Amino acid sequence: MSDEPDFHLFIPGPAGSTPEVIEATGRPVVPHYGGRFVAAYNRCIDLFKAVFQTENDLFLIVGPGTASLDAALSSALPDGARVLVPSNGFFGRRMTEMCRAHRAEVDVVEFPLGEAIDPEAIRHRLEASVAPYDAVAWVHHETSTGVLNPIEPVAAAAKDHGALTILDAVASLGGADLPVDAWGVDLCVSVANKCLAAPPGISAISVSAAAWEAIDANPSSRSWYLDLRTWRRYREEWAAWHPFPTTVASNTIAAISTSIEQILEEGLDVRIRRTAEAATEVRDGLRRLGFEMFAADDVASPVTTSVYAHPELPVADMQRFLMERLIFISGGLDDLAGRIFRIGHMGRSIERGEVELLLGTIEEALRDAGVAVPEGADLENIGA
Ligand SMILES: *Cc1c(COP(=O)(O)O)cnc(C)c1O
């Protein structure tokens, strides 16, 4: 189909897509309005709702995941809102930064890198506060450390104290279970190009009744495009013809619909299980090759594996070796740069053949660096 080289993306997003998704991306550009496109668009929203496991309103905002996070914060937080941010890594810190950019008064509850957020600590913090919090905002999958944070107990604590729940599920949705309604997430944000395995271009945000109440009561607006009231108005007033305020990334809509259809055909639960199995295979394989995991097994995310650098092979050298073979993994961010590397389990990278390719090539990289590796250490026991 194309002369492009065959890239193997083991980074935590964007993820490799199936041939059918690539084909959908490459179809001719269509007008982003009119009955035919609107039907396809609304179907895409329904497909997203199935993955979010939500009956809430859901909007597809053109842009990266960050655009929908900005939409959540800009729409729901009045100037001076009090927000509690449990944080355990780069994206938790970014959530704090974003809330402050939206003029919120932020209190951070900091947890060590590589550990999960502790819901009890959040509950205590909410209980101990004299003034109530307007919102608790946190990250489901902390992609910088490969840790999956708890949702339900944190959301329950927030609800018990009258706070809105705002969740960055950019990296987890479609790869880890996240029943948005059952777990009480008011504003949940995700994106097309991580576990949903479509090309970048579209982010998604679900909005609960409680979130709408907060949004309608918000006297401030720090955006027009990223104000959910704008999106709701266009959905109502231009429903039949153009139910969104701007041009839409129509090719990405076609691609993401195809990808979610494939996920639902396989079964969301099956996809989630396969993702976890790929993570386990990579963890086991890397351990046999002599690597040590950064996040402990009980908090490790199924979506990204974080691994300490091999004492005899610097991360940058290993990345270079892999990159020459079109295999891409990620290094560490900030304080963890040079200390860890990260492997995403999203889209194509969870396929058995891809996992074997990755482990086999890392084994080669070790041998190339003169590190002693037991013969076939990477592959034995896979799938056992
Ligand atoms: C990737 C990622 C983001 C940023 O997503 P963009 O689409 O680049 O805006 C935010 N949060 C988490 C947890 C991520 O993994």
Per-residue pLDDT of the chain (384 residues; tens, 9 = 90+): 567 778 999 999 999 999 999 999 999 999 999 999 999 999 999 999 999 999 999 999 999 999 999 999 999 999 999 999 999 999 999 999 999 999 999 999 999 999 999 999 999 999 999 999 999 999 999 999 999 999 999 999 999 999 999 999 999 999 999 999 999 999 999 999 999 999 999 999 999 999 999 999 999 989 999 999 999 999 999 999 999 999 999 999 999 999 999 999 999 999 999 999 999 999 999 999 999 999 999 999 999 999 999 999 999 999 999 999 999 999 999 999 999 999 999 999 999 999 999 999 999 999 999 998 876 665 555 544
Which pLDDT score is estimated for 176? 98
Residue 299 CA to residue 283 CA, distance in Å, equals: 13
Residue 379 CA to residue 282 CA, distance in Å, equals: 10
Is the distance from the beta carbon of residue 141 to the nearest atom of ligand 1 less than 6 Å? yes
CB 143 within 8 A of CB 115: no
Ligand 1 centroid vs 143 CA: distance in angstroms? 8
Which pLDDT score is estimated for 383? 46
**Domain limits, the chain:** 19-263, 267-368
Ligand 1 centroid vs 284 CA: distance in angstroms? 27
Evaluate whether 19-263 and 267-368 have a shared fold: no
Q: Which ligand 1 atom minimizes the distance to the CA of 142?
A: 13
Structure tokens at 369: 């660096």
The domain over range 267-368 is classified in CATH as 3.90.1150.10 = yes
Nearest CA-CA partner of 268 in 182, 195, 207, 200: 195
Beta bridge partners of 304: 344
Nearest CA-CA partner of 146 in 317, 283, 255: 283
CB 255 within 8 A of CB 198: yes
Location of structure tokens 């919102």: 135
Ligand 1 centroid vs 204 CA: distance in angstroms? 12
Q: What are phi and psi of 322, to 5 degrees?
A: -70, -40
Which pLDDT score is estimated for 384? 40
Is the distance from the beta carbon of residue 143 to the nearest atom of ligand 1 less than 6 Å? yes
Single-letter amino acid code for the residue at 76: A
Nearest CA-CA partner of 183 in 171, 172, 196, 167: 167
Q: Which ligand 1 atom minimizes the distance to the CA of 304?
A: 15
Which of 140, 143, 144, 170, when mutated, tests ligand 1's pocket best, judged by the most ligand atoms within 8 Å of its CB? 170
CB 160 within 8 A of CB 132: no
Q: Which ligand 1 atom minimizes the distance to the CA of 144?
A: 15
CATH tag for 19-263 (out of 3.40.640.10, 3.30.450.30, 3.40.630.30, 3.40.630.10): 3.40.640.10
Helix H, strand E, coil C: the string for 71-131 is HHHHHHCCCCCEEEEEECCHHHHHHHHHHHHCCCEEEEEECCCCCCCCHHHHHHHHHHCCC
Region class of 175: left (phi > 0), else alpha (psi between -120 and 50), else beta: alpha
Residue 332 CA to residue 274 CA, distance in Å, equals: 25
Which of 69, 73, 143, when mutated, tests ligand 1's pocket best, judged by the most ligand atoms within 8 Å of its CB? 143
Ligand 1 centroid vs 71 CA: distance in angstroms? 14
Structure tokens at 200: 């970048």
Ligand 1 centroid vs 368 CA: distance in angstroms? 34
Ligand 1 centroid vs 171 CA: distance in angstroms? 6
